[in-house]
Structure 1
Amino acid sequence: MHDDFKFEPVRGLPEALPRDEHIIWQGSPVARRLWIEAFKARWVAGYFGLLAVWRFGVSAADTSIAGSIVLATPFLIAGAFVLALLYGLAWIQARATVYTLTNKRVGMRIGAALTMTLNLPYPQIEAAQLDLRRGGTGTLAFLLPRDTRLSYLMTWPHVRPGHINRTQAALRCIPAAADVARQFTEAAETRLSQPQIARRPADMPHAVAAE
């Protein structure tokens, strides 16, 4: 993981791909789903809605219905402003994010103000979990080894929600999530089935059979 402010030779990746590596899929979060799931738009709307209802109910005992509506309206306006602000943040996050699957790894260019790139080689991914939502969007999260430390705050919202102690990087709110999960599974299985050849250092002496 490293800060990435330099020019990208390949979109979403900090450096050009080796000759034996190629991109299988690239995508970004769906801004509306990120707004709802990560920025909790429905909870925020409900909160300001309850405040408006409360203000209306309290005012109704002393004023007319029209007057109560007027007194409750500022809460609705404030709620609309906050929701619009949160949507703007979700849109910026989605626009700045590029998720990449290659035949060797998962790449994640994330962050709007502070851009970072995560490279997750398939052999280092212990497990993956898909949270599929209505409409086909979903979140594909990756369980990494315990000695791989990710900051939940630094990588949010590109993490599996609620898993703070062992942060799981995630392709958040992606379209056609089931198809992406299938491509990931096929690529990871193919990569893991390839034999890993260890090279012997040039200065290592050859073994000599005992006489």
Structure 2
Amino acid sequence: MSHDDFAFEPVAGLPETPPEGERILWQGRPDWWALTKESLNLKWVVAYFVALALWRFVTLIDQAAAGTAFAAAFPFLVMGAITAALLMIIGFMQARSTIYTITNRRVAMRIGAALTVTLNLPFTQIASASLDLRKGGTGTIALDLKGKTRLSYLVCWPHVRPWVMRRTQPALRCIPDADNIARLLSEAAEARISTPQVARTAPAPAVAAE
């Protein structure tokens, strides 16, 4: 029997049904391969183990036969392959458990493979957004929040702007077609912020006639 861990969500990626007047403009997930390479530094990890294997081979080739030197270096390649496979599994699970949502009023981020957290970020609380576009069209949109709003870097990772820890910036990380999504976000935020907000106030108390 199939089972959806997020079947309790009235709308995928959102903890509750959007209120009247709010429309979902876009939903998406990170590209798992791009997320693995960027957030988990897959290339650097692989390069590290390859360098260890080469170092072991070079240090032994003058003292033993090539086959013996390769046999001594081979375990580093095996460890590197296992580590890379684990990182790819983690990256895939992180991407699969994530849903980014842009509505005409806010950005919502359902994140976390083990501990699921949903961030609701109204446009009125976002000071600015920046796009880091990569080859292939994937990119990261980082959101700089206004005022005293603080988020935990560790709780939000890897859905944050890398290495910005003093003031954590939540981010739509490694999303496909990032340029168009950034444009959509900009237009929605501008339209929302420029719309006059009418607040209800309590009626003034009636003054009794003398």
Contact 1:30 1:175 in 2 (8 A): yes
- Hey, what does 1:123 align to over in structure 2? 124
The number of equivalent residue pairs is 204
**How far did 1:178 drift?**
0.2
Structure 1 CA distance, aligned partners of 2:163 and 2:206? 53
Alpha-carbon distance, 1:146 to partner: 4.0
* 2-structure distance, mates of 1:52, 1:95: 33
The answer to whether 1:169 aligns with 2:174 is no
- Kept in 2: contact 1:52–1:75 (CA 8 A): yes
Which residue in the other structure is 2:89 paired with? 88
State the alpha-carbon separation in 1 of the partners of residues 184 and 206 from structure 2: 43
| 1:206–1:164 distance in 2 versus 1, CA, 3 Å | farther
Letter of the aligned partner of 1:9 in structure 2? P
Equivalent in the alignment of 1:22:
23
DSSP 3-state at the match of 1:131: strand
Over residues 103-141 of structure 1, what are the superposed CA-to-partner deviations in whole Å (9 max), with x where a residue is unaligned? Answer: 000000000100000000001100000000000000000
Q: CA deviation at 1:201?
A: 2.2
1:191 & 1:16 partners in 2: Cα distance? 19
- Match for 1:182: what amino acid? R
What does residue range 45-64 of structure 1 map to in structure 2 within 5 Å?
A: 45-64=46-65
Aligned-partner SS, 1:141 = strand
Take 2:27 and 2:206, find their aligned partners in 1: how far apart are those partners? 46
Distance 1:162 1:113 in 2: 22
Seq. identity, %: 54
Instruction: Provide the rounded CA distance (Å) in 2 between the counterparts of 1:200 and 1:34.
Output: 47
Kindly indicate whether the alpha-carbon contact (under 8 Å) linking 2:94 and 2:113 is maintained by their aligned counterparts in 1: yes
Spell out the pairing of 1:29-40 with structure 2 (5 A cutoff): 29-40=30-41
Specify the code of the residue in structure 2 equivalent to 1:197. Answer: V
Distance 1:152 1:206, change over 3 A: farther
User: Is residue 15 of structure 2 the alignment partner of residue 11 of structure 1?
Assistant: no
The code of the aligned residue for 1:103 comes to: N
How well do the aligned residues superpose, as a CA RMSD in angstroms? 1.7
| Alignment partners' CA distance in 2, 1:196 and 1:21 | 14
Q: Measure, in 2, the Cα distance between the counterparts of 1:21 and 1:8.
A: 17
Dislocated runs of 4+, deviation >3 Å: none
Quote the residue 2:145 is aligned against: 144
Taking a change above 3 Å as real, the CA distance of residues 118 and 206 of structure 1, as seen in their structure-2 partners, is: farther
1:36-81 CA distances to partner (integer Å, 9 max, x unpaired)? 0000001101110110011001111211111111111100010000
Corresponding residue of 2:112: 111
Local SS of the residue matching 2:137: coil
**Contact 1:129–1:142, Cα closer than 8 Å, also in 2:** yes
Partner SS for 2:172 = strand
Stretches of structure 2 that go unaligned for 5 or more consecutive residues are none
